[in-house]
Structure 1
Amino acid sequence: METSLTQSQSALRLASDAYCDMLAEKGWAEADRGMLGLANTLLHGRATPAGAAYTSRIGAHTHAPAIVLGRIAADSEAARAGLEAVTSEARDVLTGTAGEGSGRGDVISYERALVRAQIAYRSFAEALDAVSVRADMDTSPVSEELTRFASAIDEARRVADRLADRYAGAGGAVS
């Protein structure tokens, strides 16, 4: 049982870290700036420089709206799929460790991935807003994809809460 628990937790940490790295590499969310950056994002919840950089990089203000909208939809779909994969790993930790709490490192890694997903979502939404202002076309397919990504974020938030509760129930405290 202990070996299985450690492997699941390691898989969750690896998946979470890989997801954060992918978001940063693609320019969808800024790289991890440590606890101060995380606290700032959580407290202020405002658009990040990554959002402005993403909007600029894909040419939301200048390139053909159809191309920009396709890019936003594809990027959002990829970010959503990645988050869903990480959430699946988190669920495996929850279901595979009956009676055991998750390790603090798992909780922190998964929460970091969730925060990065939220930053990516804001980047995509900001880019959609920028192109929508100048596009006289239907943006609802992109909005629907962003809604699916938001739903995946909401589900990830619920799973993160359950992981934190499991860890707290094991005698630890999540700060």
Structure 2
Amino acid sequence: MRSVFVCVSLGLLAGCATVSVVPGETTVEAALTKSQSELRKSSDAYCDRLAEKGWAEADKGLAGFADLLIRGRSALNEAPAYASDIGAATRAPVLVLAKISADSEAARMGLDGVTDEAREVLKNAKGGASNRNDVIAYERALVRAQMAHRNFRDALEMVSTRADMDVSPVRADLMKFSDSIDEARRVADRLAERYTGDYDAAS
């Protein structure tokens, strides 16, 4: 995912007030804004909700986010706490399947709402540029959504091994969530391109 690698670089710059663009030649003063954009607020709220619901691990801040991206898929392969929390291996399959379906739908709708905010940024950004903090926040929400999807999928696979019933409707729900994640990834790439394009032009 192109935007992930862009945002790692952006994220590492987020704490700096002065960024050297061309070593020894050009310096860009980056003003740290106190107010959050609507996209950043929505992204942060989405991450918080996923953590509160136990759908994805809690946000550990910029350093934790960078670590998550650097560790890559190994971070997404950690023990499925969600499956344990909902009793995927012990509770009645019909209850577990209903829980996964409802949680997946809620997570999907939440991500779609954040993506709508991201589209507004792309539509209204002055000079065709996006804000660095918008890019980082939205990318963080996307990564958390991917983690939640994997947790839902792991729980479904676990309950499927002991459920004598049709689980295709739940798989369809997870596919819808996956489609939303794919769309969010495309929007995130466009945000990153807008920001880096404006950044390069300024340098």
Matches within 5 A, 1:123-162: 123-162=151-190
Larger mean CA deviation between 123-132 and 96-105 belongs to: 96-105
Gaps of 5+ in 1: 1-5
Query: Which of 8, 25, 39 is the equivalent residue of 2:70?
Result: 39
Contact 1:47 1:123 in 2 (8 A): no
Report the counterpart of residue 90 of structure 1 in structure 2: 118
Q: Output the CA distance in 1 between the equivalents of 2:44 and 2:173.
A: 24
How many percent of aligned residue pairs carry the same amino acid? 61
Report the counterpart of residue 22 of structure 1 in structure 2: 49
Report the counterpart of residue 101 of structure 1 in structure 2: 129
> What TM-score do you get using the length of structure 2 for normalisation?
0.76
Q: Output the CA distance in 2 between the equivalents of 1:119 and 1:29.
A: 6
Q: Output the CA distance in 2 between the equivalents of 1:68 and 1:157.
A: 29
**Structure 1 segments (4+ residues) deviating >3 Å:** 43-46
Q: Which one-letter code corresponds to 1:147 in the other structure?
A: M
Report the counterpart of residue 112 of structure 1 in structure 2: 140
Contact 1:47 1:119 in 2 (8 A): no
Greater radius of gyration (CA): 2
TM-superposed CA distance for 1:45, in Å, is: 5.9
Aligned-residue CA RMSD (Å):
1.7
Q: Output the CA distance in 2 between the equivalents of 1:29 and 1:172.
A: 34
Decide which structure has greater strand share.
Answer: 2
User: What is the number of equivalent residue pairs in this alignment?
Assistant: 163
